[in-house]
Structure 1
């Protein structure tokens, strides 16, 4: 029986590792970008600059919060808190090694929660009462909704093959063969779409420093800006972890508890490193290129793979008995 104390302890047990992982990936990103750009990166605060991320976080939270006089104060302050809350809530569904919330339709819940993040981004852009912020919020809504359609169709193909909406079941289905081997084109489309879904370069049109001066969060400073920052990198880690579970077999081939967490962490770290690599390697897309990619390429390809999987499975009659449970 779950008591309030147990619930609080379980919540802290998955929130603290997430925040530590966010601090680590920020440090790794700055180090990798420094290496690729022939500079040192953080190297003064702590041994080899390892405490730089913590120092930056403390600096942000002790800075004065700026609230534009013409803004809508309630929504302006609630938007970053909602963004971080949604980002952390999705982590409760992931089995590492066991999910805090074990739900049969966990994939649908993840899609629903991730879709709610557009309200915080659009709300922050509108509440700031700035043209740059509003344009960034509108871009975020259009970009997120567009790529979520392709991602939802890809997940539907995986559900048809695995026979379940439950993440644990999808992970267990890949004990003998990872889905990246049988669904390589889908994994490619999924990974590129996660770049766009998390607003990472070359798809960071919602921020667009060269045109929107940071977009939806241009009016934020101090603590509220830090909440946006934490949520963004928590989403990056989450999407890569979800990619590992869906296409790279999760904790396979070893299911021993201490080892499987390390395996998942290594796989997630590799995918996250490619995120950082792409930031240093590719220029920002134009907005028409961003939309062309999903509506004219990824959407037809995702629908085609659903039809193909249905035809193959129905023709050889291997539909799993627990499909859609």
Structure 2
């Protein structure tokens, strides 16, 4: 069982030294929440900067280069700008739902981050239904998009929200089925146990051709889940202005913007955990140096994030009919066939061994 016992025991002893035992649990939960909020903010700012640098590299531009060394503080400046901007809205908007919508995306992203094992001893919440939990939590985010688009009382925002509902419901099937293919191989939904299985080899290697097919489908469907190009029909600047968040400004817009990048990290982190061994080193030395696991987890995750950014600056945007055709006529049937193929491979291995 992987857990954060080493870290939490040290923190627990330190908090007990100056706080009554009854309040210790509350203080520790607040500290963990603050740590994850900090991680959320830092990851978001870094990923925005990475997106701009990667875009500039693909388009033979320089990218951010004025604020800080090689533009490293550009996203911090942008965040301060958004903090200081006036919060505007429409008079006919549903104020309660309009203000509530961004928090659905932020909270769902934060809850998803909590279950990832960043290393052997660094995981906030290890549950035996980890993959199921991630799929369920990621589905909540679309509620925020639907509420934001509908409550804005703007036709472009409403069209973007409706597209989001159709797109998310469609591509969730492929994300879930591709992960289910790998769950057949591991026999567990718990993320720590999935990583334990991969000590003898990454699942993308253990699972043979079905694992490779599952990974390819997962990355395509995961990119669509995050509403990123070439699947960004939800925002579609050339058609809808900004889509579902057209009427948002300031920090409320920043919440939507930040959640998109964090969701991209979450999709990549799930792919790292399920297909590429999570925090395990390719050279088998992770356990001897505990914090090396965090390094390997981040390297693998950012490699998949880079792949998703590569998609954006390589392929043109799909039409709505092409978007749905890809899922229902191609990805879904391939996924169903792939699950059967994986089951057959597992059964054959079982009969050979026993």
Structure 2 counterparts to residues 282-301 of structure 1, below 5 A: 282-301=315-334
How far off its partner does 1:99 sit? 2.2
Structure 2 counterparts to residues 130-141 of structure 1, below 5 A: 130-141=154-165
How far off its partner does 1:48 sit? 1.2
CA distance in 1, matches of 2:221, 2:264: 12
Structure 2, unpaired ranges of 5+? 1-11, 13-23
Q: Give the count of matched residue pairs.
A: 320
Q: How far does the alpha carbon of each residue in 1:233-278 deviate from its partner, in whole angstroms, 9 at most, with x for none?
A: 1111111011101111111232332111101111111111122222
Q: What is residue 323 of structure 1 aligned with on the other side? A: none
1:59 and 2:81 aligned: yes
1:187 and 2:215 aligned: yes
The answer (yes or no) to whether the contact 1:19–1:234 under 8 Å persists in 2 is no
Q: What is residue 40 of structure 1 aligned with on the other side? A: 62
Structure 1, unpaired ranges of 5+? 320-325
How far off its partner does 1:10 sit? 1.2
Scaled by the length of structure 2, what TM-score is found? 0.87
How far off its partner does 1:297 sit? 1.0
How far off its partner does 1:177 sit? 1.6
Q: What is residue 9 of structure 2 aligned with on the other side? A: none
Structure 2 counterparts to residues 186-265 of structure 1, below 5 A: 186-253=214-281, 254-255=286-287, 256-265=289-298
SS in structure 2 at match of 1:175: helix
SS in structure 2 at match of 1:206: coil
The answer (yes or no) to whether the contact 2:126–2:191 under 8 Å persists in 1 is no
Q: What is residue 119 of structure 1 aligned with on the other side? A: 143
CA distance in 1, matches of 2:87, 2:296: 41
The answer (yes or no) to whether the contact 1:71–1:128 under 8 Å persists in 2 is yes
How far off its partner does 1:318 sit? 6.8
RMSD: 1.7
Q: What is residue 39 of structure 2 aligned with on the other side? A: 17
